[in-house]
Amino acid sequence: MSAILSTNPRLRPMRHEDLDEIMGVEVRAYPYPWTEGIFRDCMRVGYSCWVMTEADSLVGYGVMSVAVGECHVLNLCVRPECQGQGYGRTLLRALLEQAQGRNAQTVFLEVRPSNTPALHLYLSEGFNEVGLRKRYYPAERGREDALVLARALVE
């Protein structure tokens, strides 16, 4: 169970000026982080890129593509020292609200089976396993599969 947030986090579009701070979080949060170039490319091609702040401090961010009634969450990350406090759930819900506003009907994402906190979050938010991508993620000993999860955004 996540703790209740003490204040009201805000969502705003990601800016190029955010990338230094985002990269500082990314390299601490993931053993195989995205590069700054990947974030730049996502913004350049018009993906939906968001930053969550609280008291003017970056606590998380998310990147998703939205097209033809579908949303694909590509990256959802909370600053490591802020994890386990409800920020991930708040950020996920905010991203899904943005996707619904862009007429997405279904959302997809991949998650490492070994990332149990993220997996529990997604399952508790109504996602279901719909597939498996073999050897999708880099891992310490070769590659790790990805669980493909999906959730309807409209009833």
Radius of gyration of the chain (CA): 15
Contact yes or no for 90/9 (Cβ under 8 A): yes
Which of 47, 61, 122, 137 is an active site residue? 122
Question: Backbone phi, then psi, for 69, in 5-degree steps?
Answer: 80, 5
Which of 21, 36, 70, 110 is an active site residue? 110
Distance CA(120)–CA(140), nearest Å, equals 23
Q: Is residue 110 annotated as a catalytic residue, yes or no?
A: yes
DSSP 32: S
* Cα 42 off chain centre by: 13
The DSSP element (H or E) to which 141 belongs, if any, is: none
Q: Is residue 122 annotated as a catalytic residue, yes or no?
A: yes
Residue 70's identity, in one-letter code, is E
115 assigned binding-site residue: yes
121 torsion bin: left (phi>0), alpha (psi -120 to 50), beta (else):
alpha
Question: Which residues line the annotated binding site?
Answer: 115
Question: Which residues line the annotated binding site for acetyl-CoA?
Answer: 115
| Residues labelled catalytic | 110, 122
